[in-house]
């Protein structure tokens, strides 16, 4: 049996894809393993001419199979702020045995978020982190189209899964001139540092990213940090 494992490591253009061979039998030689990736939908994922990323059989000697999948197309299907439906990547793992038998893993749906969270640190009463986004080659037009319209930020709570209906604090920003200036000076990547203060010591806080436009909200990455 082969399982496609959920993706927990990702950024704007890279997914760390993993699979698990259950009851792995080293006597059954593996010729190839990889992942079929669809950037649009999951229909006919196994038979259509979707992208297939494979690994050398020499790496197929363990029950856990890992492959770094880097594709700038991931960036360009980031959630469109005018569409509240989450954008997804669909992935299935597979192994091809020497006897020609093809084994498929289960389907995994991966939400793609704007940006990523880095450099998380804390004190006894505060948590600091960087929000990083790469707008890619469409940097200028994306920012202009959403300037002053797209609200983004973070809800946070001491309970998991904070949201607009359940939070103890909120960070709110609007796409504005700081994004545009980064684009005009030739950098598609933008980074902003946030610090949340007046927190309780030795407490874990959960943060959920969100975007909001025309009153409609969608959620993105969740991360947690603990004060000292």
Which helix (H) or strand (E) is 177 found in, with range? helix 177-184
User: CATH code at 179?
Assistant: 2.60.40.10
- The domain of 40 spans 2-111
Q: Is the pTM of this model over 0.75?
A: no
**Most confident range, picked from 56-60, 68-72, 155-159, 173-177:** 155-159
**Same-domain check for residues 186 and 200:** yes
Residue 4: which region, alpha, beta or left (left: phi > 0; alpha: psi -120 to 50)? beta
Q: Which residues pair with 93 in a beta bridge?
A: 35
Are the C-beta atoms of 112 and 87 separated by less than 8 Å?
yes
**Same-domain check for residues 126 and 217:** yes
**Same-domain check for residues 81 and 131:** no
Higher pLDDT, 142 or 228: 228
pLDDT at 49: 47
Are the C-beta atoms of 162 and 190 separated by less than 8 Å?
no
| Tally of structural domains, the chain | 2
**Same-domain check for residues 33 and 81:** yes
The model's pLDDT over 63-86, given as tens digits with 9 standing for 90+, comes to 677 776 666 555 444 444 444 444
Higher pLDDT, 15 or 80: 15
**Exposed (0-12), middle (13-18) or buried (19+): which is 98, by Cβ within 10 Å?**
exposed
Q: Which of 111, 131, 166 is the last residue of a domain?
A: 111
């Amino acid at each position: 049996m082969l399982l496609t494992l959920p993706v927990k490591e990702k950024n704007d253009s890279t997914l760390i894809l993993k699979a698990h061979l259950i009851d792995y039998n080293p006597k059954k030689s593996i010729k190839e393993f990889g992942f079929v990736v669809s950037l649009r939908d999951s229909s006919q994922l196994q038979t259509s001419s979707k992208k297939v990323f494979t690994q050398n059989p020499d790496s197929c000697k363990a029950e856990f199979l890992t492959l770094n999948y880097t594709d700038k197309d991931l960036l360009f299907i980031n959630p469109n702020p005018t569409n509240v439906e989450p954008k997804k990547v669909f992935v299935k793992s597979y192994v091809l045995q020497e006897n020609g038998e093809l084994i498929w893993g289960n389907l995994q749906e991966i939400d793609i978020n704007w940006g990523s969270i880095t450099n998380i640190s804390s004190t006894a009463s505060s948590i600091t982190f960087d929000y990083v986004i790469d707008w890619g080659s469409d940097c200028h037009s994306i920012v202009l189209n959403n300037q002053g319209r797209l609200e983004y930020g973070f809800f946070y709570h001491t309970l998991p899964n904070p949201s607009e209906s359940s939070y103890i604090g909120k960070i709110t920003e609007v796409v504005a001139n700081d994004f545009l200036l980064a684009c005009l000076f030739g950098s598609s990547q933008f980074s902003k540092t946030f610090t949340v203060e007046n927190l309780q010591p030795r407490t874990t806080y959960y943060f959920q990213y969100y975007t909001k436009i025309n009153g409609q909200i969608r959620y993105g990455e969740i991360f947690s940090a603990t004060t000292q």
